[in-house]
Homo-oligomer: A and B are copies of this chain.
Amino acid sequence: MTDRPCITIEHLAKFVGQRVTLRGWVRHLRKSGKLAFLVIRDGTGDVQAIVSKAQVGEAQFTQACQMTQESSLILTGTVRADARAPGGYELEAETLHVVHIADPFPIQPKEHGVGFLMDHRHLWLRSRRQQAILRIRHEVIRTCRTFFDERGFTLIDAPIFTPNACEGTTTLFETQYFDQQAYLTQSGQLYGEAAAMAFGKVYCFGPTFRAEKSKTRRHLMEFWMVEPELAFAELADVMDLAEELVTIIVHRVLTHRRAELQTLERDIAALEAVVPPFPRLTYEEAVQLLQAKQVSIAYGDDFGGDEETVLSRAFAKPIIVHRYPAALKAFYMQTDPVQPDLALCMDMLAPEGYGEIIGGGQRIHEYEKLQERLREHGLSEEAFRWYLDLRKYGTVPHAGFGMGIERVVAWICGLDHVRETIPFPRMLYRLYP
């Protein structure tokens, strides 16, 4: 076997002039007299193999000519550099072993409806475009983890089953947990706070769930979120951290996944503009900006998808909007000592109309204040007993944020909808495959 190592297409460049074995699937077949041209994919890339009847013999040539789209094969041949070939290399076939002749493949190089493609998601994953998106997703996730690992954060996986509803019960998925009612987590934050008091700096990274009965381009029922939480930290610290994280993610995708961005025909210049500092606006400034752009909004109103779109189109970089009215925000948000009706919170909006990708801020660290806030929000003190405990035993100012992976990937890839940013999307009424 040493004269023909079994390699993958991404490594072809290292084997020019050598005999290698490739294992993969046929994307496309073109016949021309005594030659057949097979475009082969193996999950790492595509390459064209030239099969000549003179070289492989009658029997194998006939087989090659019968290969349908997505048929699987093992092929040995010599790697040639060829500037005209897509990718710069091609394979001169010497032997060809057919593993399986595929039935007519349902997905053709033509326009299919989204419903059809989603029903065939298990096969749609084989397309160049979907592979580019999911490789970028992998790069984004890997970068997040490396970012926090290198900065001394401890990974603390938050539980998926939670005993109580922390931000209202209307968007919760419920399940029977033996003799109790349990809910699927919407965020690991509260658990992250407990862990930050133990480890100083932590992050969790897992799936989260929202039973939102809305069909928008920004929503999935099941999505992944990375959530850092820091003890001895304030709002400004997490604004800086979020800015650094997003900058590095974009930079790494530009460096390591440029071919994939090109496959997606992404505007590279728009991503190259993502360098710190990002514009930072108070909520009040954001409202004024919206009003100046003729958006009908009053101070005190929350931003919906439309307002986010307008704001995020107004800048070439991500922006941070901070200090929203406390009344708009969750019970645990710390208030601004300078203006106590404001929350020490922040959202990061991606540019080009993408909107919110990060939400976070500083948490209330005073026991009585948190207790009062729970009461005001009609939440059970008993259910939050452990969370209140954190304010009894060496409480410190702390802050954190959550970043939605699918929204970041949608923005970086330049997609209209988050549904293609996760391998098997779960949307309203979409549970198959």
Chain A residues within CB distance 8 Å of chain B: 8, 10, 23-26, 42-44, 70-72, 74, 99-100, 102-103, 105, 120-123, 125-126, 130-131, 134-135, 137-138, 141-142, 145, 149, 152, 154-163, 173-180, 182, 184, 191, 194-201, 206-207, 209, 211, 213, 221-222, 224, 231-232, 386-387, 389-390, 392-396, 422-424, 426, 428-429, 431-433
Contacts and interface: CB of A to CB of B under 8 A. Distances in A.
Contacts of A121: 386
A332 to B, nearest CB: 15
B142 A149 contact: yes
A102 B392 contact: yes
Given A194-B433, A201-B43, A159 B426 contact: yes
Given A200-B44, A222-B160, A389-B122, A177 B396 contact: no
Contacts of A44: 152, 199-200
Contact of A43 (B26, B160, B163, B231): B231
B161 A396 contact: no
Contact of A200 (B42, B394, B422): B42
Contacts of A156: 134, 423
A123 B393 contact: yes
Contacts of A152: 8, 10, 44
Given A175-B184, A191-B423, A423-B156, A163 B432 contact: yes
B390 A122 contact: yes
Contacts of A134: 154, 156, 199
A243 to B, nearest CB: 20
Contact of A103 (B10, B386, B392): B392
A12 B133 CA distance: 43
A155 B141 contact: yes
17 contacts: A10-B152, A72-B396, A102-B392, A122-B194, A122-B390, A123-B393, A126-B198, A157-B207, A160-B160, A161-B222, A161-B426, A162-B431, A173-B175, A173-B177, A175-B175, A175-B184, A178-B428
A423 B23 contact: no
A99 B197 CA distance: 13
A372 to B, nearest CB: 18
B138 A154 contact: yes
Contacts of A196: 43
Nearest to A71: B394
Contact of A195 (B103, B125, B224, B395): B125
A23 B174 CA distance: 40
Contacts of A159: 222, 423-424, 426
Given A131-B199, A160-B160, 16 more contacts: A24-B200, A25-B197, A43-B198, A43-B200, A44-B152, A71-B394, A99-B395, A122-B390, A125-B194, A142-B149, A162-B431, A173-B177, A177-B221, A178-B213, A179-B429, A386-B432
